[in-house]
A and B are shown apart, each in its own frame.
Chain A
Amino acid sequence: MKGRFSWFNATSIAFGFAFLYLPILLLVIYSFNDSKLVTVWGGWSTRWYTGLLNNQGLMDAAWVTIRVALISSTIAVVLGTLAAIVLVRMGRFPGRTLFSGMIFAPLVMPEVITGLSLLLLFVAINFDRGFWTVVLAHATFTMCFAAVVIQARLYDFDKSVEEAAMDLGASPVSTFFQVTLPIIAPSVISAWLLAFTLSLDDLVIASFATGPGGTTLPMKIYSQVRLGVTPEINAISTIMIALVTVGVIIASYMTRLSATRAETDKRKADAAMT
């Protein structure tokens, strides 16, 4: 859609982004506040950040969270890639409707239901709850997001390159690893990053699935937030926001890079043809 970009359009964009970013910006600014009182400005200070390093409970929880996110997002991407291939390339098979339902339903399912049902599963099969149950729970709900991201890429994928590889005698498996995977790699990386941040953020599902040794950072933050706003929480939140922002910028840079590389490859190929 094109048309005149009016003052009304510019104002609505400005208001929209102010609404989206002002609360986060204020939180970041007040994490550098020297005063213990959150709304009284006492000058700039980084003392809440150095205080974090001495908070052993918070540090342990952060380490658990990072390990959970690393393992669960890796499982999620492997399963999500398989699920995306099943959805896009496998055609019709008995139970396909149920399968696509199971992939799409968790995207909108209330987290309290997902969390409760996984906990009851772990209890029913007598699986000791803790670190690994959180990993399994996170891998399950983030693989659905990964599958959706990857299947979108598979839909607008030129199938003829795969067919060419097979015609030249490549087996389906080596076609996948040598042709398909390199082409869909950017979407696999963004799916991994999405799964990683979703796992990093999750409070509700982890609270149900957890047990001894499985206390994550959001659970720790949540229990402190209920007691009130503290500059220390602002500081840890700022660190998480900074990490995620850097990750997203790197991811979008890589996607753009691979897009331009594909473009130049195509142009070279076209030039060679003529």
Chain B
Amino acid sequence: MRRWMVIAVPYIWMLLFFLIPFFIVFKLSLSDLATAMPPYVPAFDTSSLSAWLASIKAGIGQFDFENYAFIFSDDLYLNAYWSSVKIAGLATFFTLLIAYPLAYGMARAPKDWQPTLVMLVILPFWTSFLIRVYAWIGILKKEGLLNLWLMNMGVISEPLTIMNTTTAVYIGIVYSYLPFMVLPLYASLEKINPSLLEAAEDLGCPPWKAFWQVTFPLSIPGVIAGCFLVFIPAVGEFVIPDLLGGSDTLMIGKTLWNEFFSNRDWPVSSAVAVVLLLVLIVPIVIFQWLQQKQREAV
């Protein structure tokens, strides 16, 4: 009896605040703008809430796939999906390139330094995401610190345009998600038995070859976990493309935000959210399956 109560409380909470909301999003994505939300209603005026509610209820009665047809007929949305996946994928690769040497160095550092090094990687993750993205604006903008230094040192004569470009978005993603990549990499590198490398060395294997044939293959679980942890949230990222990207940087999280807050088109933003979820469901399921397998192996 008690057992069921312990299960029921978090279970019902998650059903109510996580699962059911998704069904509401799905339902709304199948209704029309005109019935679901009358135009010219201010988005945050609570007095009109009941009017909205009534119209949403009315809208739910008439399912159609118009919003999906609209998304797939308009290049803007398809391009935004494609470019989000492309930007997130490339950014994940760059994050891996920077994180691997760092995690590798941490795993080989003296044992008594390692807890401190791990804490130093985690600390920025606890610091506000918004603030860390904001910090790059002052560095990257035209009259920012990076251009100031490069021009003072005589490396460049004209300021570089990095701010409000896709390059700035890559920098922002790599910077913000670096801890998510370093920690799983470090966890798998740290576990590697040193005698394996000694054996390789004794058998005359040069260090670089031992790295590619022993260390790297053994670190692959960490590489995979890190890549998923960066890629999945980066696809739907809003803050980074909005603050660092330019008007030509298309990312679906930003499109959804604009559709909702600027165009006030709830049904279309719901349809965008449903399609985004469908894009991400495959990597999310694979990731959970891999994690589950790893937990069971331990």
Contact = CB atoms under 8 A, between A and B. Distances in A.
Interface in B1-54: 2-3, 6-7, 9-11, 13-22, 24-25, 28, 44, 46, 49-50, 52-53
A108 B232 contact: yes
B109 A5 contact: yes
B291 interface: yes
B288 interface: yes
Interface in B39-86: 44, 46, 49-50, 52-53, 56
B194 interface: yes
Contacts of B119: 248, 252
A90 B107 CA distance: 36
Contacts of B291: 104
Contact of A13 (B105, B124, B129): B105
Given A13-B102, A93-B7, A27 B134 contact: yes
B217 interface: no
B53 A108 contact: no
Given A120-B25, A124-B56, A27 B269 contact: no
Interface string A104-128: 1110111111001110110110101
Nearest to B285: A101
B186 to A, nearest CB: 10
Interface SS of chain B = helix
Interface residues of B, number: 101
B209 interface: no
A121 B138 contact: no
A85 interface: yes
Interface string B232-274: 1101111100010000000001001100110000100110010
Nearest to B195: A2
Interface stretch (A45-53, A159-167, A180-188, A236-244): A236-244
Nearest to A210: B44
Interface string B282-297: 0010011001000000
A233 interface: yes
Task: Name the residue in B6, B15, B276 with the highest tally of chain A Cβ atoms < 10 Å from its Cβ.
Answer: B6
A20 B178 contact: yes
B139 interface: yes
Contacts of A19: 98, 175, 178
A38 interface: yes
Interface string B99-142: 10110111111110000010111111011111110111111010
20 contacts: A13-B109, A13-B117, A17-B102, A90-B3, A93-B7, A102-B14, A108-B287, A109-B284, A110-B276, A110-B280, A117-B273, A120-B28, A121-B17, A203-B129, A211-B46, A218-B128, A229-B138, A237-B128, A240-B127, A252-B119
Interface of B: 2-3, 6-7, 9-11, 13-22, 24-25, 28, 44, 46, 49-50, 52-53, 56, 98-99, 101-102, 104-111, 117, 119-124, 126-132, 134-139, 141, 143-145, 148, 175, 178-179, 182, 189-194, 197, 228-229, 232-233, 235-239, 243, 253, 256-257, 260-261, 266, 269-270, 273, 276-277, 280, 284, 287-288, 291
Given A1-B108, A229-B138, A245-B126, 4 more contacts: A13-B105, A120-B24, A222-B239, A229-B141
